[in-house]
Amino acid sequence: MTTTTTRSAATTSDASLGDQLFAAVQRCLPTRALSALMYRIAEIDSPAFKNPFIKAFMRGYPIDLAEAERETVEQYRHFNDFFTRALKHGARQQPKEPGVLSSPVDGRISQLGPIEDGRIFQAKGHDYTAAELLADDALAKAFDGGSFATIYLAPHNYHRVHLPFGGKLRSWTYVPGRLFSVNPATARAMPRLFSRNERMVAVFDTAFGPMAVVMVGALFVGGIETVWGGRLTPPHDRGTAPHHHHPDQTVALARGDEVGRFHMGSTVVLLAPKGALDWDSQLVAGQALRLGQPLARVLQRVTA
């Protein structure tokens, strides 16, 4: 497995002056209000508004509608409908081997490596704890000495999140927080970014033990949805206490099944227990990924 840079509180950040200024501006913004406004704008269904809006977006980003179920702008009800578009059947394939963890999204590796002393590497000079990310000290202990992968979804990416390995939903938690951008510039400059932002933490029981799938909200991410609970946000909770939930009925998903979706770009963080996975040695920070791409072999299997 490719390891990340050794972490130290004294390590100097790679953030440029521009990165630092961008992060400083965000601290002053009403990020929840702006994200809620973006959600409302993105749900305007007037063809006179949504069609030019979608076309302008497509001129700015490399989006191929030929792989989507609906191939024309006019077929989408509004921008959010376009942004969370489904792919054609077979557009992304899962690995043939059953004992492989696959990419849950189209995106780019932000960081990948071990969870050392309960801490997760964010960027040079910055880390955060698994307990902070999960909003659960006891749950975090299950991942002591384990591994993580952080995957960034740019605005042009497919924005549905799928399960990287089959499992049964144990619990899920909505954690209120800020809505800072999660792009690389902010990650380099903003301490504890992913554990400060609003997020949804889902824990699945799998053949290799618990697996956490964390969907992190961000600036202009107007909404997060799950397949078992529907729309989670908006509204964006201004409180600080996490909302812990257990499913009312069994939610068992196979590898590749949809977990949820983002309205606008964001980040997914995966956590696995110690000794569970052997990550592909070719994976490095900055590498582009496609949904279903093999990421790791399962080494450890547990009985239910």
Residues involved in catalysis: 106, 162, 266
Cα–Cα distance for residue pair 36/251, rounded to 1 Å: 29
Quickly list H helices, the chain: 17-28, 31-42, 47-60, 79-83, 130-134, 137-141, 184-189, 193-196
CA separation for the pair 47, 304 (Å, rounded): 51
The burial of 241, by beta-carbon neighbours within 10 Å (0-12 exposed, 13-18 middle, 19 or more buried), is given as exposed
Q: What is the CA angle 161-163-165, rounded to 5? A: 155
Cα distances (Å, whole numbers) of residue 25 to 22, 122, 137, 216, 235: 5, 20, 32, 20, 23
Q: For residue 207, give the amino acid letter.
A: A
Closest CA to 124 of 257, 11, 48, 26: 11
